[in-house]
């Protein structure tokens, strides 16, 4: 059915999925498939990659689809792009969809890059004459030079995705579907792709983005969908999607609401006075009563230790600084059980979610720590606030390496827990970092015409 009105505008969703599911059958031994076909008995084991999934995608939306590996995200996109069909449910696609999925989708490895441009564009509904007209711009965007005349099986992953992306965006689709492909390639090309996506968004295109980057979802999307174990567990504002996704990854623990913890006392103005006061308050989790606390923080982790309190030295605890000012923030951590291989971390972000700065004690000092149940630790975070005057969001957290030193286990991560205000006049400077640039203008030669 069509979703266009008489004047050509869209009157309904571009994509409507109702109860769709995808089932795969697995067999313990190859000959079991033949025996089942002969009607002996059922040997197959069912695996549902996606089940009872509902989704509506409307014109102009940018939807971030997030979830753990194996949750069914890629299966959903493959069905939307027509690469596989649902086992159950109905799927209506009333739009021209261009998919940038796993490397290899829509490309023949034996064909040259140029031949694959025509093949892929044809699969996306673009006629040869239209490809001819856009060929120069496609190749210019891909920037693979003479390799366009070589078989794509000889391409690096970066070259492959350059060409695939160049073709996908040249089609000017109603819906662009991207499955982690933008994680491939250098920073220059990733930035180039993001600019092109922004242009498509401004032109009214719809974007479905699968990624593990919560930064990208917060920066680019206006709606979030969380998938877990093949089912949709959240669909709504981006902030809630990120919160639910982080809880799936790191777990969650209950914290005392503000007002139920011990009363907060004013802390001293010197560093040593503030440390003493932080320790004197014991193991109470009172950060939510401090100045600058953001009640919309995202808190995840298993709760074996807590980020329990903090204080900005020299500002009466108020998180306000001036550009370039040396800052010292004291953070108190309380251990509810003995932990080894502990790392403390901090981040600063813009309110839009763009990362400004991130570090942790292991990166800075190459050391992980061990503590006993009941220990209270204060970490001094010192930095210079070389930032453009505006508000920023701060994260403080505690994590733990697993026993192999490979994976990070979230203990208590409090994202956007504090609003940091950098005060002053921005002047003509723009951006995030305040580099405090100086300049000298020198006349190296004089001429009669220059004034």
d(CA 184, CA 178): 12
CA atoms within 13 A on the CB side of 321: 22
Instruction: Give the DSSP per-residue string, 256-319.
Output: PPTTTSPPPPPPPSSHHHHHHHHHHTTT---GGGSTTB-TT-EEES--SEEEEEEEETTTTT--
- The answer to whether 307 touches 279, Cβ cutoff 8 Å, is no
d(CA 366, CA 171): 48
For the entire predicted model, the pTM comes to: 0.72
Q: How confident is the model at residue 1 (pLDDT cuts 50, 70, 90)?
A: very low
Residue 107's nearest CA partner among 173, 154, 177 is 154
pLDDT of 451 > 60? The answer is: no
Compute φ and ψ for 145, nearest 5 degrees: 60, -140
- 79 Cβ partners below 8 Å, 6+ apart? 17, 20, 22, 50, 85, 86, 91
- Segment holding 403, helix H or strand E: none
pLDDT of residue 345: 95
Eight-state DSSP code of residue 183: G
pLDDT 10s digits, 337-374? 999 999 999 999 988 788 899 999 999 988 899 999 99
- The answer to whether 423 touches 324, Cβ cutoff 8 Å, is no
Residue 107's nearest CA partner among 164, 154, 150 is 164
- The answer to whether 393 touches 420, Cβ cutoff 8 Å, is yes
d(CA 166, CA 187): 16
Q: Residues of the chain with pLDDT > 90: what percent?
A: 37
Residue with tokens 């590996």: 69
pLDDT of residue 40: 62
- 251 Cβ partners below 8 Å, 6+ apart? 300, 301, 302, 303, 410
Coil, helix or strand for 137?
helix
- The answer to whether 221 touches 76, Cβ cutoff 8 Å, is no
Averaged pLDDT, 440-445 = 80
d(CA 396, CA 345): 6
- The answer to whether 260 touches 229, Cβ cutoff 8 Å, is no
pLDDT 10s digits, 294-331? 988 989 999 999 999 988 887 666 788 888 888 999 99
pLDDT 10s digits, 140-151? 988 888 899 999
For the chain, domains (ranges, CATH) are: 15-249 (3.40.50.300), 271-422 (2.70.50.60)
d(CA 356, CA 359): 11
Q: How confident is the model at residue 276 (pLDDT cuts 50, 70, 90)?
A: confident
Strands of the sheet with 326-335, listed across from one edge: 305-312, 326-335, 376-384
Distance (Å) of CA 20 to CA 76, 84, 157, 283? 9, 12, 32, 49
Residue with tokens 């922004």: 198
pLDDT of residue 263: 45
């Amino acid at each position: 059915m069509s979703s266009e009105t008489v004047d050509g505008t869209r009157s309904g969703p571009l994509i409507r999925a109702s109860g769709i599911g995808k089932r795969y059958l697995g067999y313990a031994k190859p000959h079991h498939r033949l025996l089942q076909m002969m009607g002996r008995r059922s040997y197959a084991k069912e695996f549902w990659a996606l089940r009872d999934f509902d989704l509506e995608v409307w014109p102009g939306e940018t939807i971030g689809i997030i979830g753990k590996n194996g949750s069914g995200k890629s299966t959903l996109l493959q069905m939307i792009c027509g690469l596989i069909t649902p086992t159950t449910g109905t799927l209506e696609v009333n739009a021209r969809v261009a998919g940038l999925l796993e490397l290899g989708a829509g490309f023949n490895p034996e064909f040259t890059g140029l031949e694959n441009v025509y093949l892929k564009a044809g699969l996306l509904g673009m006629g040869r004459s239209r490809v001819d007209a856009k060929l120069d711009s496609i190749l210019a965007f891909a920037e693979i030079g003479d390799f366009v005349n070589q078989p794509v099986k000889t391409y690096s992953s970066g070259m492959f995705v350059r060409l695939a992306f160049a073709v996908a965006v040249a089609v000017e689709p109603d819906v662009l579907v991207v499955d982690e492909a933008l994680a491939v390639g250098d920073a220059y090309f990733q930035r180039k792709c993001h600019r092109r996506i922004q242009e498509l968004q401004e032109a009214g295109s719809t974007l479905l983005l699968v990624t593990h980057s919560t930064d990208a979802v917060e920066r680019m999307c206006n709606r979030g969908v969380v998938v877990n174990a093949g089912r949709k567990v959240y669909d709504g504002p981006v902030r809630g999607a990120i919160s639910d996704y982080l809880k799936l990854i790191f777990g969650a623990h209950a914290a005392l609401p503000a007002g139920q913890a011990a009363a907060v006392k004013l802390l001293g103005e010197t560093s040593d006075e503030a440390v003493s006061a932080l320790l004197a308050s014991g193991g109470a989790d009172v950060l939510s009563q401090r100045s600058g606390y953001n009640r919309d923080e995202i808190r995840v982790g298993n709760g074996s230790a807590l980020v329990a309190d903090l204080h900005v030295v020299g500002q009466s605890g108020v998180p306000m600084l001036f550009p370039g000012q040396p800052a010292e923030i004291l953070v108190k951590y309380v251990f509810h059980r003995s932990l080894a291989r502990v790392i403390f971390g901090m981040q600063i972000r813009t309110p839009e979610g763009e990362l400004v700065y991130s570090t942790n004690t292991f990166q800075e000092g190459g050391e992980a720590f061990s503590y006993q149940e009941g220990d209270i630790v204060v970490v001094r975070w010192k930095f210079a606030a070389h930032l453009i005057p505006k508000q920023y969001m701060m994260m403080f957290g505690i994590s733990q390496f697993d026993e192999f030193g490979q994976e990070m286990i979230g203990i208590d991560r409090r994202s956007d827990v504090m609003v940091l205000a950098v005060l002053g006049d921005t002047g003509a400077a723009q951006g995030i970092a305040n580099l405090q640039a100086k300049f000298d203008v020198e006349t190296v030669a004089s001429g009669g015409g220059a004034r």
